[in-house]
Amino acid sequence: MTEMVYGSMPGRVVEPVLPRWWRSIDRWSLAAVFLLFSIGMLLGLAASVPLAQRNGLDVFHYVQRQAFFGGLGLAVMVGISMMQPAMVRRLGVLGFLASFMALALLPVFGTDFGKGAVRWFSLGFASVQPSEFLKPGFIVLSAWLISASQDIGGPRGKSASFLILAVIVLLLAFQPDFGQAALILFGWGVVYFVAGAPLVLILSVIGLTGAAGFFAYNNSEHFARRINGFLSPEVDPRTQLGYATNAIQEGGFFGVGVGEGQVKWSLPDAHTDFIIAVAAEEYGLVLVLMIIALYTTIVVRSLFRLLRERDPFTRLAGAGLAAIFAVQAMINMGVAVRLLPAKGMTLPFVSYGGSSVIAAGITMGMLLALTRTRPQGEIAEILLRRGR
């Protein structure tokens, strides 16, 4: 009867998921990720063939594995990018708990694959590095705790996140994996800084980090050897850094030509940690600058989109994820040109590695999900909700 008198209520038109996702996603960043992976596959065709031959495998063995894990990582990225921030938060917390438990079990069940650092679980057909998956989960967890601490009567999220950080850094130092520890510490510092951390606390953390580095230098042969190699005025041409430095110098502006590079025959990690040396030698500075431009596009566009965000969790988590993504790429390339000590860190979406590319897909998927355009509402409404 009511509908006969007043008419029926208009139904709400719900936009399908895929069109809504495509309209709201940062398509430039999405395209940059796919371009980075394509470049990685191109470089893998050159860098991984010598290793496959040395190990008695099919010449395209590592290329095929990278295509499989890379495709899986990109699919995970797209799937996560369709999530709302609340779902990203839940996924990050659950992922952190699982990877933290795996990290704690490494001393018992892990392996070092002859590299001197127990960082992996060997599954026979593949290996898993828990610290790769820990990074995005910890950033999301820290952003949630710190943003919740800003609410009236909220938990002591800043203190809780710092205690969790301390435990993680200790676990990574015992492997030892100082590179990942430094990256996680930096990501947490960015989240804390964006949330409004006092300068005294930031300086204190920097001081504690310096003291920890001094202690590690005097008590860890693995750490001291890498620092000494970095500080040495002479580069041993028979080391990985020596081969990488020579390859970058030989490449020049346009490179020596596709397939003509020699560094891939000398470097055991040419397809992983020193993939940028292969790019510089065969394709020259042109390709290296293109890779840098793609990473810059992703990070800068993400940060600009986050500036419009009014939700504290989204803003903090997005800034932290963008920071660890950018700094990991900077560390990898900085090591290759001897601006930083050797860290054993991959170049996201470009280097070979199952754990690396899937974890990068998770990180980038979360970042794309948090930077999607969505209705923001008035700032007064948000402040009113927080005050209730």
- Residue spans of beta strands (DSSP E) within the chain: 121-122, 127-128
Domain assignment present for residue 321? The answer is: yes
Give the C-alpha separation, 140 to 92, whole Å: 5
Give the C-alpha separation, 90 to 2, whole Å: 42
**What letters, b where the CB count within 10 A reaches 16 and e where it falls short, cover 53-76?**
eeeeeeeebbbebbeebbeebbeb
Of 366, 362, 368, the C-alpha closest to 73 is: 362
- What's the sign of the alpha-carbon dihedral 116, 119, 121, 127? negative
The 10s digit of each residue's pLDDT in 332-374 is 898 888 777 777 788 999 998 888 999 999 999 999 999 998 7
Of 78, 13, 33, 138, the C-alpha closest to 372 is: 78
Domain assignment present for residue 8? The answer is: no
pLDDT the model gives residue 369: 95
Residues 6 or more apart whose CB falls under 8 angstroms from that of 365 comprise 76, 77, 78, 79, 80, 81, 83
Tokens of 84: 């709302």
Over residues 275-303, the mean pLDDT reads 93
Contact present, 381 and 95 (Cβ < 8 Å): no
Give the C-alpha separation, 136 to 185, whole Å: 12
User: Within a 10 A sphere around the Cβ of 388, how many other Cβ atoms?
Assistant: 5
Domain assignment present for residue 167? The answer is: yes
Give the C-alpha separation, 122 to 346, whole Å: 19
Host domain of residue 241 = 26-372
pLDDT the model gives residue 380: 45
Domain assignment present for residue 168? The answer is: yes
Cis peptide before 176 (omega within 30 of 0): yes
| Rg value, the chain, Cα | 23
Tokens of 359: 């974890």
Residue 153 zone, left/alpha/beta (φ > 0; ψ -120 to 50; rest): left
Tokens of 7: 């008419």
pTM: 0.87
Structural domain count, the chain: 1
Domain assignment present for residue 39? The answer is: yes
User: Within a 10 A sphere around the Cβ of 256, how many other Cβ atoms?
Assistant: 17
Range name among 24-38, 233-247, 250-264 with the lowest pLDDT average = 233-247
* Mean pLDDT for the chain overall: 83
**Does the pLDDT value for residue 229 go beyond 70?**
no
Give the C-alpha separation, 17 to 331, whole Å: 37
Domain assignment present for residue 385? The answer is: no
Cα of first residue to Cα of last residue in the chain, in angstroms, is: 39
pLDDT the model gives residue 222: 62
Domain assignment present for residue 123? The answer is: yes
Give the C-alpha separation, 17 to 23, whole Å: 10
* More confident site: 380 or 58: 58
Domain assignment present for residue 10? The answer is: no
Give the C-alpha separation, 132 to 119, whole Å: 10
pLDDT band at 257 (very low <50, low <70, confident <90, very high): confident
**Does the pLDDT value for residue 381 go beyond 60?**
no
Give the C-alpha separation, 133 to 118, whole Å: 16
pLDDT band at 44 (very low <50, low <70, confident <90, very high): confident
pLDDT band at 379 (very low <50, low <70, confident <90, very high): very low
Give the C-alpha separation, 25 to 19, whole Å: 10
Give the C-alpha separation, 47 to 45, whole Å: 6
Tokens of 318: 């997005």
Over residues 306-321, the mean pLDDT reads 92
